């Protein structure tokens, strides 16, 4: 596990086309764009008004399916330890911590992307990747030549354009307070 301060964090490296890059934030947006080369680049900037940005760290877990990057906040006193985990694993409690971690990702074609945050929008534009994203408070915008199987928010709108449709794949596009706009490929047979 790589762990480093979230202030001016940067990592770059190669990932296989069959792998997934996962970003797990709490406070702050996630922006994803197509990489100019073949390397994945993950950068983060931490800013805070009352809380100290240097107390938040970025952890990276390398696993068989790819890499997971998490913004890990200091654990509140008397509570269980915060930690990074793959998929639904991990603990991310930010009690009374206003640090915002802004993730920026450059992604080469073929590497799947999974992104989650709580307070921030997710923008994944100009991609050729499979994409799955969710937030609670923020808009979601996805534009990919790949398959976008999931885009979810509670307070925000969803705008998805995908170039490839997988009729056997599960799809979910959900919001509570906002609109949903889908642009599917011409060969999509869906209701």
Tens-digit pLDDT profile for residues 90-121: 998 888 899 999 999 999 999 999 999 999 99
Enumerate residues 6+ apart whose C-beta is below 8 A from 159: 139, 140, 141, 142, 181
Mean pLDDT within 7-29: 94
Nearest alpha carbon to residue 162 among 134, 124, 135, 191: 124
The whole-number average pLDDT for the span 83-95 is 91
In angstroms, the CA 155 to CA 139 distance is 8
Would you give the end-to-end CA distance of the chain in angstroms?
43
- 55: phi then psi, degrees, rounded to nearest 5: -85, -10
- Per-residue model confidence as pLDDT tens digits over 107-160: 999 999 999 999 999 999 999 999 999 999 999 999 999 999 999 999 999 999
How much is the pTM? 0.94
Cα separation of 30 and 128, whole Å? 17
């Amino acid at each position: 596990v790589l762990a480093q301060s979230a202030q001016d964090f940067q990592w770059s490296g190669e990932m296989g086309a069959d792998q997934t890059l996962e970003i797990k934030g709490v406070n702050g947006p996630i922006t994803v764009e197509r990489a100019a080369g073949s390397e994945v680049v993950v950068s983060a900037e931490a800013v805070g008004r009352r809380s100290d940005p240097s107390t938040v760290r970025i952890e990276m877990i390398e696993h068989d399916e790819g890499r997971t990057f998490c913004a890990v906040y200091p654990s509140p006193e008397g509570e269980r330890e915060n930690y990074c985990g793959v998929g639904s694993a991990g603990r991310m409690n930010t009690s009374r911590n206003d640090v915002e971690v802004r993730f920026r990702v450059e992604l080469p074609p073929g590497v799947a992307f999974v992104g989650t945050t709580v307070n921030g929008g997710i923008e994944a534009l100009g991609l050729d990747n499979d994409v799955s994203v969710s937030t609670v408070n923020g808009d979601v915008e996805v534009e990919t030549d790949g398959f976008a199987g999931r885009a979810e928010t509670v307070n925000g709108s969803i705008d998805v354009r995908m170039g490839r449709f997988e009729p056997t794949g599960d799809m979910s596009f959900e919001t509570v307070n906002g609109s949903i706009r889908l642009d599917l490929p011409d060969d999509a047979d869906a209701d």
